[in-house]
Homo-oligomer: A and B are copies of this chain.
């Protein structure tokens, strides 16, 4: 979970909550689909391990970014979605996404960037 302070500034506090290899991606994924099941999320995030996905989701839940809805069925179904806080955080990351996108395009044009995994 976030360390809950002390923070040096707002960016510090914001970064604290998005840190973690998959959190910004989970935010993005949940925002795109509205609601996703655990397995869908897993397939949408190439390279996550189960453990990491559970862990990051739990932390984001503690931080009030993600809502977890459990359906007591067989087989079990659990659906994840963004809370209002999660949604606003995702919006706050929009500008960073645009910046990153432009950077990727520029680096690709210069042949510096590896767009696709070399082994793929």
Contact = CB atoms under 8 A, between A and B. Distances in A.
Contact of A100 (B15, B97, B98, B115): B15
Interface string A67-87: 000000000000000000100
Bin chain A's interface residue count: 35 or more
B92 A99 contact: yes
Given A10-B99, A11-B97, A13-B100, A113 B5 contact: yes
Contacts of A17: 100, 103
Interface in A8-60: 8-19, 24-25, 27-28, 45-46
Given A11-B25, A16-B100, 4 more contacts: A7-B104, A10-B97, A13-B100, A88-B99
